[in-house]
Amino acid sequence: MLRAPRGARDIRPDEQKYWRHVEGKAADLARRHGFRRLDTPVFEDSSLFARSVGAGTDILDKETYSFLDRGGDSLTLRPEGTAPVCRAYMEGGMGSLPQPVRLYYFCPVFRYDRPQAGRYRQHHQFGVEVLGDGSPLVDAEVVRMAWALMADLGLKDVSLLVNSIGDSQCRPGYVRELRAYYSERAGRLCADCKQRLDNNPLRLLDCKKESCRPMQEDAPASSEHLCADCREHWDYLRRYLDVMEIPYAVNHRLVRGLDYYTHTVFEILPPEEGAQTTLLGGGRYDGLMEQLGGRPTPGVGFATGMERLILNVQRQGVAVAEEEAPRYFIAALGDEGVELALEIADGVRATGAGVTMGSRGRSLRGQMRNAGSLGIPQVIIIGRDEAAAGSVTLRDMTTGRQSTVPKGEFLGGLQPPSG
RNA sequence: GUGAGCGUAGCCAAGAGGUCUAAGGCGCCUGGCUGUGGCCCAGGAGAUCGUGGGUUCGAAUCCCAUCGCUCACCCCA
């Protein structure tokens, strides 16, 4: 039996309503904030991610799908959405558009992980990015969007964590202090954290090992070692969030897994405990564009996992709009009946209504059953009598009432397409 | 990448070495109603018991491997 590759899955008709719910709310949210959609390729030149995500991160070192194409170019299946957006911004000359440029995207992303519920090798992200404005006002706008998305989706009891990790001015000093703090306690660190002390000291702060936890409480906090600019940025952000009455918690252990973040980082968590729970993550990345070889351009954004949003929408029993069944089902009998059915179906579809054709050769009873189980409200019956007379029998499946009318009258009585 | 649990038709599942050419329910198809759905009744299709190997006279059932899913770790959306 052939199956989808490990960690990849089909999105079947029955679950499409959840996808439409999330996509619809997200796209509308973006529209209401003045964001425009950008689609980028599923694969990129491998060097794009090497320069953005950063060597030393798990995402780049052990989770990318990279391959040589037939021309010998090294390509990588997109493991995240921000770097491609920045690349497209530069390549598309968006730096000469009115600034800032507000963009959003829906895209599949690929990471070679060990799959679990809510964690896939191919998953889908919705993300937004604001490029070309370094002010804390846009940080606040992006955080607001993230928070509003949860409400729009109907998700309850999610929590918002916010932190500032400084910039190239103050971070080196902070990291030195953090390293010093942990070096004194190196003996008590777990094996992973001993590694982190060398390659990624910020990650020491979110180690989940019991033995490492006590040390995190007293570790120096980045938000208390900010330079003047960062301090001001951080203060403004919190002030704006307060004005908008967005309930956030400052968490000094919040750091993000990608190297390019500066200033603001934030995350939204669902109520349930568990491993792969992060619903949404984002932050500011003022150095990224330069790292990619472009002009210095500030940026801020977030990305959220569609599968995880949907998982939570389902767990919380949020009511989502049902997919609408076609309005009509045509049950035809005999060659003449089928031919008239084709004509009627054309006419009905031209008005914008949906029509499902019954199966040729199936008994009327079988076709009626079919219509009933598909939940179609109106059945157009075309048998020998109707075909001979050029008429149709219309049966309302909810009331059980039916009547026979000439086909011209039936088609003429349909509502014309709107819009 | 590490550790653990699970794996019987599209779905839910009975089954614990011979009575399994694998029960039952949902769903699907057909008929009872030669042109009328939903309820009821009858019949039918659909499973190499995840896959491969082994133990045994005999394996869905025991063992090993492998694949997949789930949980924890790791990582992150």
Residues in chain A: 419
Largest Cα–Cα separation, chain A:
95
How far: A383 CA to B20 C1' (Å)?
48
Instruction: Indicate whether A362 pLDDT > 60.
Output: yes
Q: Does the pLDDT value for residue A26 go beyond 80?
A: yes
pLDDT band at A41 (very low <50, low <70, confident <90, very high): very high
Tokens 């750091």, located at residue: A255
> How confident is the model over A301-316, as a mean pLDDT?
94
- Name the nt closest to A208 by C-alpha to C1': B73
Span A4-16, average pLDDT = 91
**149-168 of chain A touching strand B, CB 7 A cut-off:** none
Closest CA to A166 of A220, A253, A231: A231
Looking at residue A115, its amino acid is P
Q: Which residue has the tokens 């799908």?
A: A65
* Mean pLDDT to the nearest integer, A375-396: 96
Sign for the CA dihedral angle at A346, A351, A354, A355 comes to negative
A291 CB-to-strand B distance under 7 Å: no
Torsion of CA A238, A261, A160, A144, to 10 degrees: 60
Whole-number average pLDDT of chain A: 92
CA distance A338 to A247: 62
Mean pLDDT, residues A352-370: 95
Please tell me the least confidently modeled range out of A3-17, A179-193, A307-321.
A179-193
In this prediction the pTM is 0.93
Closest by CA position to A327, among listed A394, A418, A391: A394
Distance, angstroms, CA A213 to C1' B67?
Answer: 38
Q: Residue range A392-396: average pLDDT?
A: 97
- For strand B, list residues 337-366 of chain A whose Cβ lies within 7 Å of it: 359, 362-366
Residue A131 clears pLDDT 70, i.e. is over it:
yes
What's the rounded mean pLDDT across residues A71-89? 96
Question: Helix H segments across A318-397?
Answer: 334-350, 364-373, 384-389
Which H or E run contains A87? helix A82-91
Nucleotides in B strand less than 7 A from protein CB: 1-3, 27-38, 48, 50, 67-77
Find which nucleotide's C1' atom is closest to A334's CA.
Answer: B35
**Which residues fall within 8 angstroms of residue A362, CB to CB, at 6 or more apart?**
A370
State how far the alpha carbon of A16 is from the alpha carbons of A7, A239, A321, in Å. Answer: 19, 40, 10
Tell me, in Å, how far CA of A3 is from C1' of B7?
15
Which residues lie closer than 8 Å to A92 by C-beta, 6 or more apart?
none
Answer whether any strand B atom is within 7 A of the Cβ of A125.
yes
Using the predicted structure, report yes or no on whether residue A208 has a pLDDT greater than 80: no
Distance CA A376 to C1' B28 in A: 18
Per-residue CA distances from A244 to A31, A141, A357, A399 (Å): 20, 10, 53, 51
Residues 193-212/A with CB < 7 A to strand B: 203, 207-209
A78 vs A192, higher pLDDT? A78
* Residue A419: pLDDT over 60: no
Considering all nucleic acid strands, name the nucleotide whose C1' atom is nearest to the C-alpha of residue A109. Answer: B77
Weakest mean pLDDT among A125-129, A153-157, A191-195:
A191-195
Which helix or strand (DSSP H or E) is residue A296 part of?
none
**For position A200, what pLDDT does the model report?**
77
Evaluate if residue A232 carries a pLDDT over 60: yes
Ranges of beta strands (E only) in A135-201 are 159-164
Instruction: Please give the structure tokens belonging to residue A71.
Output: 């021309």
Share of chain A above pLDDT 70, in %: 98
Q: Would the pLDDT of A114 be above 80?
A: yes
Structure tokens at A259: 């190297």
Interior CA angle at A108 toward A156 and A5, to 5°? 105
Mean pLDDT calculated for residue range A59-78: 90
Would you say residue A71 has pLDDT above 70? Answer: yes
The pLDDT value recorded for residue A300 is 98
ipTM over cut 0.85: yes
Measured in angstroms, what separates residue A1's CA from nucleotide B7's C1'? 14
Statement: the CB of A417 is under 7 Å from strand B: no
* Phi then psi dihedrals of residue A341, to 5 deg: -60, -40
- Asked if residue A221 has pLDDT above 70, the reply is yes
pLDDT value at residue A417 = 66
